[in-house]
């Protein structure tokens, strides 16, 4: 337990994928970082480190390489060579191929538990980082030069230690307790959809193809995975099936045979028969955006700042670029002799990230609205759009760069460069 009043450069509330990545980025420069995380390290209850999988863009791979995390992930990463987009029952289809973009892979699928393990191992190598886990953030007070908060650890209640930092970062998820305590409102749009997630085995291998299939009931992503626990012939994939609430309830209630039959009917036979499905989990889908991302001594980041529909797989990749940009802003301010917790400095970060966040949110949200419409004119227009995307190299390249996380002004870490 730290001494009451011990001072850190940065205090991050939330030690999931985003919070841990930021701690490494800043801690690697030698700054003292406190991480307050509600779950014990390595606990199976940590929602960020479960058996779900995340699609990492090329830009995210570069960030993890620069942070010294990728070497622990590479063996667990399944390359995405092609993205195949289709509209069920209609003529529109488009493909984005890594070879056309001149890259070894468009991205990589990695199970969250592997990402979590790699981040925790890297955190343990950095002496500047102090973990408080399991612990929660209590009362927060802002001063002119520091912010202080009580750390409630091991059931300590209000007698928990109080620490100070030059900057507080809320990385504690879409239902952020820090955001709530500080009366920061958020805008939420309920998609009225439930994401059903499961791992499946298929008759044919996916060969590095990620499928995004739009159906009447919602988008269905079938993403290539390497099954380290059950290798063998055929393919392994993880699915993210977005359904309206009633349909999701029915699908989750099906036995395995019924679930496989329904999934087969929606996806088709591009991979032959779908042979098996693992445990199904679900969560509601909404677009959530914080009304404020910066205040003096405060940054809101990750799902606490913006939570997206998973249709384009951009949520974590966007947040990791936020991490890279914030870490660079902090380091640049330090080198210039500025107070990196000041509102002037933090506004520079917010201005930098505004366009990327806006574009990604519009892209993801727009896909759901356009492909969710049953209007015949909209349906025809979106299929013509897919055909045009397939035929116009310039348009396809713009979409590919967005998907790979290499569009716009990139932070140093997203270019694979060190901050120092």
State the DSSP string of 13-70.
E--SHHHHHHHHHHHTTT--EEEE-SS-TT-TT-GGGSS-EEEEEHHHHHHHHHTT-H
> How far is 184 from 206, CA to CA, in rounded Å?
44
Rounded to the nearest 10 degrees, the angle between the axes of helix 376-391 and helix 343-372 is 110
Q: Looking at the predicted structure, is the pLDDT value of residue 227 above 90?
A: no
pTM of the model: 0.91
Q: How many domains does the chain have?
A: 1
Residue 98 placed within a domain: no
Residue 272 placed within a domain: no
**What value does the mean pLDDT take over residues 110-135?**
94
* Coil vs helix vs strand at 135: strand
Which H or E run contains 72? Answer: helix 70-73
pLDDT band at 151, cuts 50/70/90?
Answer: very high
Range of the domain at 143: 7-77+108-187+287-372+408-415
Residue 48 placed within a domain: yes
Residue 154 placed within a domain: yes
> How far is 77 from 60, CA to CA, in rounded Å?
12
For residue range 28-84, list pLDDT tens digits in order.
999 999 999 998 876 655 666 667 889 999 999 999 999 999 999 999 999 999 999
Least confident of 137-141, 392-396, 402-406: 392-396
Residue 15 placed within a domain: yes
**Does residue 37 contact residue 131 with C-beta atoms inside 8 Å?**
yes
First to last CA, the chain: 31
Give the strand pairing for 33-36 and 7-13: parallel
- What CATH number should be reported for the domain holding residue 310? 3.50.50.60
Residue reference for tokens 């606490």: 304
What pLDDT sits at residue 2?
A: 41
């Amino acid at each position: 337990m730290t001494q009451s009043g011990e001072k850190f450069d940065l205090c991050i509330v939330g030690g999931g994928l985003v919070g841990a990545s930021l701690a490494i980025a800043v801690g690697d420069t030698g700054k003292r970082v406190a991480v307050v995380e509600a779950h014990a390290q390595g606990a199976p209850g940590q929602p960020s480190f479960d058996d779900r999988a995340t699609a990492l863009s090329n830009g995210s791979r570069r960030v993890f390489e620069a942070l010294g995390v990728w070497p622990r992930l590479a063996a667990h990463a399944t390359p995405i060579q092609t993205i195949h987009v289709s509209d069920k029952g209609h003529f529109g289809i488009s493909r984005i191929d890594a070879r056309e973009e001149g890259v070894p892979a468009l991205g990589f699928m990695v199970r969250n538990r592997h990402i979590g393990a790699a981040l925790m191992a890297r955190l343990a190598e950095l002496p500047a980082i102090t973990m408080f886990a399991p612990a929660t953030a209590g009362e927060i007070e802002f001063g002119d030069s520091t912010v202080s908060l009580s750390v409630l650890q091991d059931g300590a209640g209000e007698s928990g230690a109080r620490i100070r930092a030059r900057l507080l970062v809320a990385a504690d998820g879409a239902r952020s307790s820090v955001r709530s305590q500080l009366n920061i409102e958020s805008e939420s749009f309920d998609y009225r959809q439930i994401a059903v997630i499961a791992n499946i085995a298929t008759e044919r291998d996916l060969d590095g193809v990620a499928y995004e299939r739009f159906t009447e009931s919602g988008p269905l992503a079938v993403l290539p995975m390497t099954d380290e626990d059950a290798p063998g012939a055929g393919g392994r994939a993880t699915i993210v099936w977005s359904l309206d609430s009633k349909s999701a309830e029915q699908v989750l209630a099906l036995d395995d045979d019924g679930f496989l039959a329904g999934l087969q009917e929606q996806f088709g036979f591009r991979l032959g028969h779908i042979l098996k499905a693992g445990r199904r989990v679900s969560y509601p889908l909404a677009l959530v955006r914080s009304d404020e991302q910066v205040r003096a001594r405060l940054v809101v980041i990750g799902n606490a700042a913006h939570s997206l529909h998973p249709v384009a797989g951009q949520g974590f990749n966007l947040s990791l670029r936020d991490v890279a940009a914030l870490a660079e802003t902090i380091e640049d301010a330090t080198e210039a002799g500025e107070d990196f917790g000041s509102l002037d400095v933090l506004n520079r970060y917010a201005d930098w990230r505004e366009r990327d966040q806006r574009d990604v949110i519009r892209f993801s949200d727009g896909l759901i609205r356009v492909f969710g419409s049953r209007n015949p004119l909209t349906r025809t227009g979106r299929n013509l759009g897919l055909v045009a995307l397939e035929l116009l190299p310039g348009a396809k390249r713009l979409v590919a760069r967005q998907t790979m996380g290499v569009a716009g002004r990139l932070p140093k870490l997203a270019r694979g460069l060190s901050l120092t």
